Structure 1
Amino acid sequence: MVIGAKLKQARESKRISQEELALMLKTTQKTISNWESDKSIPSLDYLAKIEAVLEVDILSWLAEKGIVFNQHNDKGDNAAIINKDFSKELKEQYEKRLEEKDRNIEELKNEILFLRNMLNNNNK
């Protein structure tokens, strides 16, 4: 079972609608729908919120997808992620997010440049 199906099952077992869950998580119903249909994947922050709201074990869900959290590494950290053969779909989703991040960075750089130019023109 994939994460989206598990999320839907957990939500429905609590008799919570997508709209209600969205309000609890401070997101949109469409986002919940996308997660449940595996069109997108919740961030780690959202996974933590989902775990608290729906009282589920997210770590076991992730372990089934090959994502394991090392509880005791040699540095004393508790959140090291070990990749154990990610699925093709998960890799594609990750690549899409990286591309979106790059586009957002480029847009922000352009906006900063524009604002600097505006500021320089106003100071003349």
Structure 2
Amino acid sequence: MNFGTSLCQHRKSRKLSQTEIAEQIGTCQSTYSAWESDKAALPAEYFIKLAYVFEVELTALVPQALSEWVKKVPIQQHSTQEELVIIQKQMIVFLSQQVEQLKAENERLRRTYPGSNRSVA
């Protein structure tokens, strides 16, 4: 299952429209629609917001997005050791950026909703 299909299933299980989800996470319906149809990548700051709205752990969303990124990595059967090291470094940078964006968004949400007992991580 691709990431967009997963978003769609989470949304439908909550009986929410794309517009309702978009409003709850602070974006427009067309942007959310692009994420569900895999026409655009989901920015990291929206992972926490969606996990909160869908009432799922963040780990339910992140592995799918990472697997989509990995599918796009140009690993060939004939890749050299140097090429694989470069790809590994790119993956580390990608993951580090995602983690930092998620931490910042999580902190912002904690300040916005200080009494909330919800956990998304």
The equivalent residue for 2:42 is: 42
The equivalent residue for 2:7 is: 7
CA contact (8 A) 1:4 1:36 kept: yes
- What are the ranges of 5 or more consecutive residues in structure 1 without an aligned counterpart? 68-84, 90-124
In structure 2, how many angstroms separate the alpha carbons of the residues matched to 1:54 and 1:28?
17
In structure 2, how many angstroms separate the alpha carbons of the residues matched to 1:37 and 1:58?
20
TM-score (norm 1): 0.52
Higher relative contact order (CA 8 A, sep 6+): 2
Q: CA RMSD in A?
A: 2.0
The structure with the largest strand share of the pair is 1
The equivalent residue for 1:62 is: 62
- Please state how far the C-alpha of 1:64 moved relative to its aligned partner: 4.2
SS in 1 for 2:15: coil
- Please state how far the C-alpha of 1:60 moved relative to its aligned partner: 3.3
The equivalent residue for 2:30 is: 30
Question: Deviation string for 1:6-62 (max 9, x for gaps)?
Answer: 100000000000010111011000011100000112111101100001112332333
In structure 1, how many angstroms separate the alpha carbons of the residues matched to 2:24 and 2:11?
12
Larger Rg: 1
- What are the ranges of 5 or more consecutive residues in structure 2 without an aligned counterpart? 74-121
